[in-house]
Each structure stands twice: as structure tokens, then as C-alpha cells.
Structure 1
Amino acid sequence: MTLTTSAPVATPVRARRVLWSVLSWLLVLPGFGWAVVRIGGWEDGLLVQLLAFTPYVAAWSVVPLILALVARRWPAAAVATVTLALLATSVLPRAFADSDRGPQTGMKLHVMTSNMLYGGASAAEIVRLVRENDVAVLAVQEFTPAAQTALAEAGLGQLLPHSSLSPRFGADGSGLYSRYPITNPGVRINGGFFHQAYGTIQPPGEGALLVESAHPLAPFAVDVVDRWRADLEAEPRADQNGLPRILLGDFNSTLDHKPLRDLIDSGYRDAADATGHGLIGTWGPYDGDKIPPVTIDHVLVDKRLGVSDAAVHDVRDSDHRAIIAEIILPAA
């Protein structure tokens, strides 16, 4: 009698193939879902906070693609390729200057925004940045009575003698300082109870501009996401039939959040994005917290004005970095 042995049900080679397939999909699908949410603007709940880190996910999305190609898992590689393309087209343009940055001839106006972290940021550092960069308009958030005093003692009044101020204890306060007289000054209180100082300035020989220090509520918890979204939706839109507007401050949102993109699409340019500096972090580890940098501070400029440069600067004793933008005012 002849005995025969049957082949093993699953060979080691087949097991490895199954393992690679499962691993490939486990790595690919989360990134694909992330890309779909980002492109569709469907962030909600906890996803709002997570989406701020989209540039890091975009960089990571190269890894699942390489692994899927090495493992010859072609369907997974195809999805990984689509994921990488979607995230790259969303993120990479921020690293390159736009071809259209508006008018590039006219008066140069340097504007700056700085979140003062409950008023504790170095006033001397802020005044130094104003002086050394010829800043004509300064917007501050988390502006307290103590911060107002510290800025005055550091000499800000000699550089920017005009102001629209609403100092408050805590994080609610807002301030706007200007080299030029401010007309129609005021303060708007948004749904998150943050104050937003505003006013109209008119540089010599130029048309009038509306300027506002923006500070929507942060999406710090799931139950405030609706209020965060409402604050962004309530920010003043660019009005092509009205005065040009500059809206600058701590928006508690990145360019990966749809409410901020919708605001920009009303007729603004993001100064850092337009000049190729849109991936530079402005909030995160700057006061010692172990948080990857994200870009939530912005200078939004009416498209009728030009943007020629933008730079990010450290400010001692603040968790935010300051942004200074060079704006071009075309001849009136």
C-alpha cells in the first residue's frame, strides 16, 4: 500500500503574503480616510483638532506607498498613490510662492500679529520686532491690562501712537496699534467671548483700510466645536464693494480647516501661504509644551492689496510666534 501526504493548508509563503496584504491596508486606509475628510471639509468633533496636523500625515503618507510597492500589493499601492496625491496637492503649495500675489508696486505696509499668552509675552521683544521691522500696524491677542502697561513702558507708544484697545484679564483681550490715526475704532465680541479690536487707518496718500485683530474660539474640546465653527463663520468677509480689509491674528485654525478656507475664499490671501511660508509653525512647542508645531496664526489680506513677503518670529514667554507681513498698497 502506498501512503500519500497532502500539502499543508497554508504554506509559510502564503501566510506572509496574507500578512503583508493586511499590513498594507492597515497602513493605507487611515491616510486615505484622512485625505477624504480633508478634501471634503467634513471635519467634526475630535477630527477638528487632529486635522491641524495634516502636513505631518502628508509626509507620512509616502511610507505606506513605499511598503505597498515593495510588497507588490498593487491595489493598496494604488490607494496609497491617490492618498499621497490628495494630501500633497493640499499641503505642498504652501511651501511655494504664488505666481499671483496681487499688486507688487506701491507703498509698503508692514503689519504684525502676536498672541501674548495671557499677557505674559515679552513686551520688550514685541517692541523690538516692531522697531526693527518697520511695523506700522500691530495686532495683539490675549491682551491684558498688565500687557498694556508693559508695552507702553517698552516704548510702543513712540512707534505706534494710535490704538484701539480692549485689555482684559485672562485670554479675552485684544489690541490694535497703528502708526497712523485710527478712525471708527471699536471692539467686537465674538461667540467665544474673545474681543476683537478693529479700526480704520489711512496711510498718507493711500486709500483707507479696515484692520481687525482676529481671535476665534479654539476647538479645545468636542463640545465647543460648533462655537469654534460659528466664530470663524462670523469673521468679517472681504467685501469687494467696501474698503479693503486686513484681518490678522490667532485664528485657532490651519489651512486644513474648511471654515478658515471659506473665509479666505471670500476675497483674502493668506500672506504666509502666498509667499511660500505657509508651512512654518506658529503655535505648539514654543513655551515648552511637547506639541508638534502647527500654523494657526495668519495675516489675511484683501486681494485688492498685494503681498510681497511674510516672516515668522519667536516671541519670548509666549506659546505663539509672531507673523510680520509686507503688504503692498497700490496707489489710490
Structure 2
Amino acid sequence: MGWLGLLPALAVAAIRIAGVNGGPRTALALALLPLAMLPAYPVLVLAALTRRRALGLAAAVNVAAHLLWLWPALPPADPVPSAARAHTLTLVSLNVGSSGLDIVGLDRLLTREQPDVLALQEVKPAYRTALTQVLHAHGLTAGLLRTDQRHLQGGGLWTRLPVLSAELADYPGARWPRLTVDVAGRPLTVQVVHTWPPHSELHRYWSADLLALARAQRDEPAVLVGDFNAGRDHAPFRELLRSGLRDAMGARGHGHVGTWPADRRLIPPLLELDHVLLPNGVHAIDAYTAPAVGSDHLPLVARLGLN
């Protein structure tokens, strides 16, 4: 029974150590790593009580690996320089989901959070009119929208701040809106991200886009926000973090924060797929998930300050 209980932890640890990202099954296993390795803890206790040395050693190694991999997601909250609090903005991100835009829910979200910048993903052409009306009602009149009949790659950025530049940034599998806005006299570049999900036929775009983002970040730092379909247990996402970005949730000491699925009655959001990633000079004053608004993803809210 002990070895059987340890099998999920052993399997996902082996995938993580090998750096395998070769298809939907391994990508899903890695996304579930923080939970899949939990059985190692009771197995370690069982092995100690029954004096089963081999089982205890295997369980102890898994527990140590689990803590080692979780540790970067569990730092104390980063200090926010007082100067950064003089140049602040609120950023909201939402993958509206494949089932359809909940315009009433979006209106409630905007009323509650009052964002200066809004990033949306999975935007269909049919949403344009309704979106324009609700966004203009909340003062989000400037922006850039790219719609797609397949909806997965449709996305947009809107703001109430002065826009210094707007463009569609090209990547191997997508073109994503990118805005540079004026935050109390300081320029800030924000780019929406929505990678293809790591299904077998699209996996090359998923990893290629994450790696291309990492390369671009070294030359043109920006706040990256959206649905990355990845977390720190995926090798391409770790490469993105190594480019100098910090996760806003981690910067506030929140650790693993599940954002998907948000539309299941009996299953809580387990996978951390959505992120706000910050370059040097941008600080997370606060970061949290907002209540679900009709999507299978939870909205992200980040209150940011600039040096």
C-alpha cells in the first residue's frame, strides 16, 4: 500500500527532474505537481511507523524535492519602495473562457476593481460591440484588440491612461497586443499573453512562444499578463522567470494560487495557469484572484508601483 500511494509522487518527480515537456499528459502532470506529490508525506510517516527503510528513503527524497520545488513560490512578500507608491496602477486580467463572455459579470468586476489597464484573452469577434460599450462605460477607451474566429488567440488590452505606443508583438504561434502607457510621467509596457494549450499538435507553439517571450524580455522588458497555460514546474516557464521576471503572486508571498478550473461545482481551481509577471523596477503592492465571473478562469488583480 505504501509504494502504491507513493507512485504518483514518484512519477511526477521523475518527469520534473527529466525536464520532459513533450505532450499534454506530461504538461498536465507537471501542472499538478504541487498536489500530486502530497501523498509522499503520509507515506513517509507510515514508513517510519512500520520501519520500512526503502520506502521511507524514497518518501523522504520526494518530500525533500517537493519542498525544494515549492520554496521559490513561498518567499516572504517583497518590500515595496516608498517611491514606487507614488506611481501606481491597477491591472486586471481575465480569460473570458470558451463558453462565452459574461458581460454582466465583467461589468461587476470592472466596477469593483476600477482597473487602469485591462487584459482579456479568448476574445471572439462577436464580443466587440458589447465589450466596447461596457469598457467605455468604465473609462477604458484606449486599447488594442485582436480577435480570432478560433477565439483561443483573440485578446486585447485597454486602458484609461495615456497611450504612448501600441503594437501587435509577433511570436512563433501568435500575435499579442502590447501597449506602453504613461503612469504619472513614467512609461510602462504591458503585453497580454495567451499561449496555445500544450496539446500534442500545438505543443511546439506552447514552448516556442514561452521561450521567445524570455528572449524578448531581455531586450524589451514588459509586464506580461494573461493565461500562460504553464507554471514554474514547466521548464519553458522557468526559463521565462530566469529572464528577470517575478510573479506578482509570489512577490506578495502568496505561493501557489490556482486559477483554473473556476466553473466546476465540486472541483476548486487547482492549476496556476494565469500570471502577472513583473520586470525589474515594477513592484506588486497587492495581488489576488477576484471572484469568478462566468469563465473557467479566475480573474487576476494586481496593484503595481513603479520605481
Q: Which one of the candidate residues 97, 113, 120 is aligned to 1:133?
A: 113
Match of 1:233 in 2: 211
Distance 1:122 1:277 in 2: 28
CA contact (8 A) 2:6 2:39 kept: no
Question: How far, CA to CA, are the matches of 2:201 and 2:45 in structure 1?
Answer: 39
- 1:71 and 2:16 are equivalent in the alignment: no
Maintained 8 Å contact 1:103/1:305: no
Relative distance call for 1:38 and 1:167 in structure 2 (3 A) is: same
Distance 1:187 1:118, change over 3 A: farther
Mark the CA change 1:327 to 1:310 in structure 2 (over 3 Å): closer, same or farther: same
Judge conservation of contact 2:155–2:176 (CA < 8 Å) in 1.
yes
Amino acid at match of 1:41: G
Counterpart for residue 103 of structure 2 = 123
- Alignment of 1:24 onto 2:2: yes
* Alignment of 1:296 onto 2:273: yes
CA contact (8 A) 1:173 1:195 kept: no
TM-score, L = length of structure 1: 0.82
Structure 1: distance between partners of 2:114 and 2:269:
31
Asked if residue 176 in structure 1 is aligned to residue 157 in structure 2, the reply is yes
Deviations 1:156-202 (A, max 9, x none): 4542121011122332211000111223312235444x441112111
Shift of the 191–80 alpha-carbon distance from structure 1 to 2, 3 Å rule, reads: same
Letter in 1 for 2:210: L
Match of 2:234 among 257, 268, 272: 257
Hey, what's the Cα distance between the residues in 2 that align with 1:241 and 1:186?
16
Q: Deviations over 1:247-302 (max 9, x none)?
A: 00000112211111110110111001221233221111425695862110000010
| Distance across 2 between alignment mates of 1:87 and 1:214 | 28
- For residue 102 of structure 1, report the CA deviation from its aligned partner: 5.7
TM-score normalized by the length of structure 2: 0.88
Instruction: Indicate the larger mover: 113-122 or 150-159.
Output: 150-159
Partner of residue 60, structure 2:
81
CA positional deviation for 1:238? 6.4
Out of 231-240 and 315-324, give the one that drifted further. 231-240
Counterpart in 2 of 1:312? 289
Match of residue 28, structure 2, among 33, 49, 57: 49
Q: Deviations over 1:88-127 (max 9, x none)?
A: 22125535534x4564532222111100114723223223
Answering whether residue 162 of structure 2 is matched by residue 185 of structure 1, we say no
Aligned positions, number: 303
5 Å matches for 1:141-290?
141-169=121-149, 170-192=151-173, 194-206=174-186, 208-219=187-198, 221-235=199-213, 237=215, 239=217, 242=220, 244-286=221-263
Larger radius of gyration: 1
Match of 1:327 in 2: 304
Aligned mates of 1:118, 1:284 — CA distance in 2: 12
Q: SS at 2:105's partner residue?
A: helix
Instruction: Note closer, same or farther for the CA distance 1:121–1:95 as it changes in structure 2 (3 Å cut).
Output: farther
CA contact (8 A) 2:12 2:29 kept: no
For 2:178 and 2:98, how far apart are their aligned partners in 1? 20
Q: Could you list the runs of 5+ residues in structure 1 that have no partner in the other structure? A: 1-22
Name which of structure 1's ranges 110-119 and 304-313 shifts more when overlaid on structure 2.
Answer: 110-119
CA offset at residue 147 of structure 1? 2.4
| Match status 1:114 vs 2:91 | no
CA distance in 1: counterparts of 2:277 and 2:303, whole angstroms = 12
Displacement of 1:57 in angstroms is: 1.6
Shift of 1:83: 0.6
Cα distance, 1:131–1:224 mapped onto 2, change above 3 Å: same
| Structure 2: 5+ residue stretches without partners | none
The AA in structure 2 aligned to 1:222 is S
Question: Percent of aligned positions with the same letter in both sequences?
Answer: 31
- AA aligned to 1:321 is L
